[in-house]
Amino acid sequence: MVIISLNLGHNYLKTIDDSWFENSFIEKLSLANNKIIRLQNYVFANIRRLDELDLMFNKIHIIEDSIGLSTITKLELAGNALNNLKFLQNVRPSFLDISFNTISYLDPDDIVWVDELVMDPNPWHCSCLRTFWKDKHQIVVSSSPIAVDKWNELFPVCVTSKQDYQCEYKLDGDILEVQDRYFEIVDYIKMQNFV
């Protein structure tokens, strides 16, 4: 079966089964605007030439380490619930959109292959964001066009915590304080203007 482009967006999908793509040659796959929560290991491993993957505006909060995206060059993950990008150690996209997630820290080692990164808005911790800007090397960084269109001077780029904070991915402790403070000010749903 040969398919160059496949759009499965707006279908209320909650899961993806790797058998859906068995022996396929999909170059562009859109799974945007569904209700996907988790990407399991090897879910895209059966697609032989996947170049662009659009997973924007799902509910993804977990992406396992080996999802099978070895050939991907463009990965769009905006509008999910990701709080870390450790899975990117096994994926090498040159374009990555992680805007409208819950990421407070970005390890430059996780995005060494990225040439262009769309990273705002996210509830960045200020000290971690400064560290990222210092170490980002040649990555071209931009904000989401949706955010740029609706951003105002009251929305913070980053927030700080009351205590010292290690710049690392965390699921508890100070990071939740940072995220809570950020989301008190920035309402993603209102900014994205969708129900």
pLDDT tens column, 84-123: 888 988 888 999 999 999 998 888 888 888 999 999 999 9
Amino acid at 149: D
**Contact by Cβ (8 Å): 75, 85:** no
Measured CA to CA, the distance from residue 168 to residue 151 in angstroms comes to 27
What class does CATH assign to 5-190? alpha beta
**SS3 assignment, position 186:** coil
CB within 8 Å of 149: residues ≥ 6 apart: none
Measured CA to CA, the distance from residue 117 to residue 106 in angstroms comes to 11
The torsion angles phi and psi of 7, rounded to 5 degrees, stand at -110, 110
> Which pLDDT value is given to residue 174?
61
Mean pLDDT score across all residues of the chain: 88
Going from N- to C-terminal start, the domains of the chain cover 5-190
Q: Which residue has the tokens 């450790």?
A: 86
On whether the pTM is more than 0.85, the answer is: yes
Q: How confident is the model at residue 195 (pLDDT cuts 50, 70, 90)?
A: very low
Query: Sign (positive/negative) of CA torsion 20, 59, 135, 41?
Result: negative
**Contact by Cβ (8 Å): 96, 71:** no
Measured CA to CA, the distance from residue 66 to residue 52 in angstroms comes to 17
Q: What are 38's strand-pairing partners?
A: 62
